[in-house]
Structure 1
Amino acid sequence: MSTKYLKADAKAYAREHFRGVWAATTTPFRDDLSLDEEGMRRNLRHWIRDLQLGGLFVSGKQGEFFSMSVAERKRTFELAVEEARGHCGIVTSCSDANLDVVLELARHSQDIGADYVVIHSPVLHFHHDPEETVYEYYRYLSEQLDIGITLWNHPDCGYEMSPELCARIAELPNIVAIKYSVAREKYRRLTELAGDKILVSTASEEEWLDNIIELGWQLYLCSTPPFLLQTSADQRINEYTRLAFEGRHAEARAVRDSLEPARQAFRSARPSGTPQAYTKYWLELLGQVGGPVRRPLLNLTEAQRAAARDALARSGLKLA
C-alpha cells in the first residue's frame, strides 16, 4: 500500500495539501465507444500543466462512471496518477451501489498512489431515515481503508445527509472532506459544526469566492467549470481564487464578476437532458478531446451543437 501518509495523519495531510480548485474529469471515448486512453492523457496534460489546477476528481458523474466497467475505472485512475505526479493531486471516484466494488476501487487507488478517494453516500431505496445506515456505511469504509475519504452527497440521490450526521462521520480518523451539494445554510452549518475536522466544499463555482471569504474554505471540489470557463490564455477562476487566498477580496470579486458573460453563455445552450454530452462538445470547441457519451446518455443533436458554438462565440473567453 503506497498512500502518502499514515491513516492517523490523513486529516493533517489533507489540511495541508487538499486545497484550491479540484475539477471533475470527463472520460473520452472513441467512436466505437472504447476508452480513448491517448485522448484522456492529452486532456490530463492540459488540465494539469496548462490550467495548473490544484487537483482532479477522476471518473465521477461527469466521467460517466456508471457506464464503465470496474477495469476501465481503474485504468482511468492509473492514467490520472501517472500524468499528475508532482504537478497536482488526484482524488478517485469510487462510488458504486455495490460495497465490494467500492472497496476494490478504493484499495486500487491506495495501491497506485492516489491522494484521496471520494465515495458517494449509499443508494437507499424506500428509506426515510438514513442517519444510522449512512453512518455505519462510512464507519465501515473508514475501518477498512487507510486512504483519506471524501464524502459526497446531493439531493439527486434521494436524500440529504444532515450537517449533524456529516459532523458525526467527520470524527472518523480518515474522513477528510465532503462534496456537499446542498443549500448554503446546510453547508454553512456543517462548517460551523466540524470545519476543523473536515474540509467542506460544494459544487457551485458561483459560490466559491464567497465561501473562501465568509467561511474560510480552502477547497473547491467542483464539476467542470475550470475546464469549460478557462483556457491556457484565460484563467480567471484560478486568478480570483489566488487573489482571495491572498486576502485581496475586492480584486477577486472583480475578476469573478467578469466571468458572468461566459457563465451565462454556457448555461444558455446547455440542454437539460444530456449535460455530459454538452460538456464534451464544449471541450472539443476549446481544442480538447470530447468524444461521444455512452448509453444511457444521449449525444447532442446538430441543432444543440450549433447552439453550443454560438454560445462559445458569445462567451468572451479568450481562446488559446
Structure 2
Amino acid sequence: MWLEPAAPTEELLSQRRRPPMSEFHGIFSPVCTPFSPGDQSIDEDRLRRLIDFQLDNGVHGIIPCGGTGEFPTLSFDERKRVTEVCVDQVNGRVPVMAHTGACSTREVIELSKHAESIGCGSLMIVPPYYEVPTDDQLVAHYAAVSDAIPLPIMVYSIPAHSKINLTPELLHRLAEIPNVTMLKDSTSDLTQFQRIVSELSDKLTIFNGSDVGALAGLIHGAGGCVWGVANATPKACVNLYELVIERKDFAGALNLWQDLYALNYFFETEGYAATAKAATRMAGVDIGVPRDPFTPLTSEQESRLEKLMEALGALAEPVGATAD
C-alpha cells in the first residue's frame, strides 16, 4: 500500500527527472468492455458512447482490452474487434494503445500486427502469466515482439497477476530493446518506483498503474497514469494530473485526492470490473455488468459506491442504454 507523501516544494519537484512531454503522457483510460444483456456479446454502441464520454472529459489516451476491459474473458477475435471499434471511434483524437499481452509470443505478435494494421500507434504488453518465464525468456519475448512490430511498447508490471516483478535490474535489460519505450508500474511499491524513476526515466516514459498510488506516482516522477477509475471519473483524474504536473498546485491536488483516494480504494477492494461498470453507470454511461463468472455489485456495495461518487460530484442521470 502506498503511503501518502508530503507535497513537495517546486524546487524539489524540479530536481526530479521527468521524461520530455510527448504524446505519451497524462491520463490513459483502459476502457471497460461493455457486454449486451443476455448473450453477453460485445455491445459496440455502448463502447462508442463510453469512448466519447472519456474524450469529452479530457483523457489523453485510450487503451482497449486491458485488465479493466476484462481481456481474460474475451476471445481472440473479440479482442481484435474491440480494438477496431476503439480506433474507429477515437478517430485520431488521442492515441490508442492496444493491450496485446497473452501467454504465448506468437499470440502477442498476431494481436500486435493486427493492432498496427488498423491504426494503433503503440502497444501495452503484460508479461506471459500462469506459466512464469525466466528473466532471459521474458527479455526474449519482448525482443521478438519488438522485432516483429515497429511500434512503441509499454511493458506492464503487475506482479499481483503476472507473478513477475519488473525490477530495476530487469527493466534495464528490457529498456535496451529498441521499441520498449514505456513502463506501466502497478506494483504499489513506492520505494522501487522511485528507484525506477531515478535510474530509468531517461530511457522509459513511466506511467503509474496503481490506482491508490496515483497522487504519489505523479509527485514522484510519473509522466502519467494508466487509470481504470477514469472510466467513471475522467474529469477528476485529468484534474489531478493537471494540478500536479501542469499547475504545481499540490495543496489543490491533495484536497481532490481525499475523495479520489476513497473511490480508488473501493475499486481495488470490492471487485474491480464490477465497480468500474457500476461507477460508470452512476456517472451517466450505462455499460452493463461484468461477463460471467463475475457478478455485479450487491445493492449494499452500490449504496456505498454511490456516496463516494457523490462526494466527487461525479453522479449523473443515466444516459444511453438502460441498466441491466
Measured in 1, the distance between the counterparts of 2:229 and 2:289 equals: 19
Measured in 1, the distance between the counterparts of 2:219 and 2:65 equals: 30
256 and 80 in structure 1: CA distance in 2 versus 1, 3 angstrom threshold: farther
Whether 2:49 is the aligned partner of 1:42: answer yes
Q: Which runs of 5+ in 1 are unaligned?
A: 1-13
Counterparts of 1:156-175 in structure 2, within 5 Å, are: 156=160, 157-175=162-180
- Given that residues 283 and 314 in structure 2 are in contact (C-alpha distance below 8 angstroms), is that contact kept between their aligned partners in structure 1? no
Measured in 1, the distance between the counterparts of 2:282 and 2:191 equals: 37
Measured in 2, the distance between the counterparts of 1:39 and 1:152 equals: 27
Counterparts of 1:183-222 in structure 2, within 5 Å, are: 183-215=189-221, 217-222=222-227
The SS at the match of 1:106 is: helix
1:184 positional shift: 1.6
Aligned letter for 2:272?
Answer: P
Aligned letter for 1:40?
Answer: L
1:297 aligns with: 294
1:306 aligns with: 303
187 and 262 in structure 1: CA distance in 2 versus 1, 3 angstrom threshold: closer
Q: Residue deviations 1:197-245, cap 9 Å, x none? A: 1111221345444444443x323222x2223334xxxx34323322433
Measured in 2, the distance between the counterparts of 1:201 and 1:46 equals: 22
1:253 aligns with: 251
The SS at the match of 1:105 is: helix
1:30 positional shift: 0.8
1:150 aligns with: 154
Q: Residue deviations 1:4-48, cap 9 Å, x none? A: xxxxxxxxxx96211111111100001120110000001011111
The counterpart of 1:98, out of the listed 72, 86, 104, is 104
Aligned letter for 2:313?
Answer: L
Identity value in percent: 22
Aligned letter for 2:144?
Answer: Y
Measured in 2, the distance between the counterparts of 1:194 and 1:169 equals: 11
- Count how many residue pairs are aligned between Structure 1 and Structure 2: 295
1:278 aligns with: 275
Aligned letter for 2:239?
Answer: E
Q: Residue deviations 1:246-299, cap 9 Å, x none? A: 3x32x243134224124325645x584632112101111111122121123223
The SS at the match of 1:108 is: helix
RMSD after superposition: 2.4
2:91 aligns with: 85
155 and 318 in structure 1: CA distance in 2 versus 1, 3 angstrom threshold: closer
The SS at the match of 1:52 is: coil
The counterpart of 1:136, out of the listed 114, 134, 140, is 140
Measured in 1, the distance between the counterparts of 2:217 and 2:270 equals: 29
Q: Residue deviations 1:103-125, cap 9 Å, x none? A: 11100110011121111112253
